[in-house]
Amino acid sequence: MSEQSKVKPLPTGARIGLALAGLIGLLLGLYFVIGGGMLIARGGSVYYLLLGLALSATGIQLARRRSSACAIYLVLLIATAVWAVWESGFDFWPLNARIFIFSMIGMLLAPVYPALRAHEGRTPARGAAWTVALVLLACNAAFVWGMFVPHGKFGTETAPPVASNAGTGDWTAYGHSAGGDRFAGYTQITRDNVKNLQVAWTYHTGDVPLSPDGGGSEDQETPLQVGKTLFLCSPHNTVIAVDAATGTEKWRHAFPTKTTVWVRCRGLAYFDSTQPLVQPSVAGSTPVTPLAASGDPTACRKRIYMNTIDAKLVALDAETGKLCDDFGTHGIVDLKAGLGNAKSPLYQLTSPPTVAGTTVVVGGRVADNVSLDMPGGVIRGFDVMTGKMKWAFDPGNPDDHAAPQTGKTFTRSTPNVWAPMTYDATSNIVYMPVGNAAIDLWGVKRTKLDENYGGSILALDATTGAEKWHFQTVHHDLWDYDVPMQPTLIDFPLDGKRVPALIVGTKMGQLFVLDRLTGKPLTQVVEHPVKPATIPNEPYAKTQPLSVGMPQIGAEVLKESDMWGATPIDQLMCRVTFRGLRYDGLFTAPDTDRSLSFPGSLGGMNWGGLSYDPNTDMIYANDMRLGLWVHLVKEKQHSGTSDGNEAVNAGMGAVPLGGTPYSVTKDRFFSPLGIPCQKPPFGSLTAISSKTRSVAWQVPLGTVQDTRLYGMQMHMPTPIGMPTIGGSMTTASGLVFFAATQDYYLRAFDSSTGKEVWKARLPVGSQGTPVSYVVNGKQYIVISAGGARQSPDRGDDVIAYALPDSK
């Protein structure tokens, strides 16, 4: 019988299917040939060009109904697997992005091979084809399984909790204690019984935040708890007191606002005038001044303070919710006094006040990149009882602590303190994270004092406002790398001793540990040489501080091989884009070309802060890993037209930098699918040992379950690790709670291993920090859930969880 007589014709449907598959393969191949050529032209990998040629050949041979298509594809697949391991090792997500789609295609293509061989009059080789298909099926099953388990560095052994009395007081300050530890020293809810947590009560504030572009209203609060009362502040500055055990409302006081941009309230402050004053114990400290006489000794003995978004400091009676008439003008202090032109939203307050002894200390948010002429970043201290200004620290005139004379203002456009502050009662010092002068991206006209204080930790005497020290975390900031979080006070183990210290995270992924009394680093900080750009007259810093004595979180220098995508298609596009950007690593200066800033101005770490377990010397940090590309555009000098909406960080076209020769365009470093271009995780929770100064574990935070791509919800609980914005809370029983992910969950992690041990579905996402307290012998975990960042789902829920009553 002749060879021709053995030919087995293919059905019409099969021929059409092969023709279509061949066309798709050819088109896909051409995409990779063109994109690969562009990548090679920019100095990138040759792999994608070779991949494109192989895919094109596969497509052509499929359309011709030749079995060689499968052979070519098998070579392609093996080469891809070898290349993927060579380039990214055995890191799951990079391997998945490089291999999975091709192995899925190979699995579907393998059964076609016998039919094509039979059509050619050759032996079908079914055994070989199905062996390949089954091997690829197993590989693909492993890839799918791996997509639903967290990949990170986990601890190997669960350590027993350490008993102590630390952290067992009420949650009376934004960070639990004045030192910002976010540590609840309670042990009723444990690693073993946390799975039994259930909703104890839910309260609705009636204030649903709306933020269609990310720059409107947001719920970002951390409540306070004092005794049997929980104090809340809604996004639009309504202060509410509820029963901490039942969620029943006790009182509310609204402060209506017409402001619609950057509206939020992150927290409140509390002062109890019936308690004895705590005087500092450190030698040479300035005493806390005695309480001023109150107009009515029976009213406002316990006070709640809030900074409104419209720049007013208000004092409320914690028991009734009424304004304290003896504070300021009938309970209100105008924080725009002495600032000159400071209309909202160019000057706002988003973080809570800080009670420091008998002084209420406030900073203020000055909108970024609007104009060179902006309100100053003065920090002020007010008497807790009268509201009278005790001192001012003007970064442009640091030796004069008085209010400006009539007709004068505090120095304009100076670095500001928008994030929460920390108070140390043992030394009567308040520690504050300092931002930048008015324009982040262009620093030609900054003063010597702007350069001195910008991007620093500043320590002031809480009684007098006199400077104790400052430490700079970034020189001549051109990236919006202001210090974004409340410093956390710790007793740092050093050479067999305990040194009073503070630790703070930065947007650059750095962790600085400083001596609280001197501001000197307790771990190694080096001055790292950096490259300048070419903006005329820009006094670029030649070096930048890097905290190499502590772990750097999510601050690695990106390489082309770090580019990622949900598919090889968008991964290639990210590689081409990356190669087309100027990038010199951390501190790549902006210019009139397109440069990449990683981490971008959102972080790294941000205002959520750190949590700290003093019993185990463990620090817990959450981060986001989002790059930002920046392009300065030369223009005629003009005044700013921005309204202070920081959604400019997400692409709004050219935004004028008022008073400078430039406007700026910038956007997140995303793939065409709206996914960060670098490999996961995009957000993580990291445990750092202050004893060993190393990472104990690091796990991804959050899934893509509630993420929307082009308006469509993903519904996939893939724990890839998404950007985070709030903070963590740790307990003495060995748990770390976190809620501010992009999916709608409150989670608990084992504090010694990083393993997720419990999660509860929230009605919407959260940007808040959990709190914990004990009332009537029962421990509660409370979270405010008003909507995750970048999510259209919004709510007004405050939810308390507790263990069920024993029967």
Q: Which residues form the catalytic set?
A: 480
SS3 at position 75? helix
Q: Which amino acid is at 424?
A: D
- Using alpha carbons only, give the angle 433, 435, 440 rounded to the nearest 5 degrees: 160
Residue with tokens 């959990």: 770
Cα–Cα distance measured from residue 108 to residue 335, given in angstroms and rounded to the nearest whole number: 67
Cβ neighbours of residue 523 under 8 Å, at least 6 residues apart?
A: 512, 513, 547, 549, 550, 693
112-119 helix and 68-88 helix, angle to the nearest 10 degrees:
150
Closest CA to 251 of 316, 315, 334, 336: 316
DSSP string for residues in 32-74: HHHHHHHHHHTT--SHHHHHHHHHHHHHHHHHTT-THHHHHHH
**Residue-level length of the chain:** 807
Q: Using an 8 Å Cβ cutoff, are 201 and 232 in contact?
A: no
SS3 at position 675? coil
Rg (Cα) of the chain, in Å, rounded? 29
Q: Using an 8 Å Cβ cutoff, are 615 and 656 in contact?
A: no
Q: Using an 8 Å Cβ cutoff, are 764 and 785 in contact?
A: yes
Give bridge partners of residue 622 from the DSSP assignment.
Answer: 685
Cβ neighbours of residue 652 under 8 Å, at least 6 residues apart?
A: none
Cα–Cα distance measured from residue 380 to residue 359, given in angstroms and rounded to the nearest whole number: 9
Cβ neighbours of residue 496 under 8 Å, at least 6 residues apart?
A: none
Cα–Cα distance measured from residue 277 to residue 425, given in angstroms and rounded to the nearest whole number: 10
Cα–Cα distance measured from residue 357 to residue 450, given in angstroms and rounded to the nearest whole number: 29
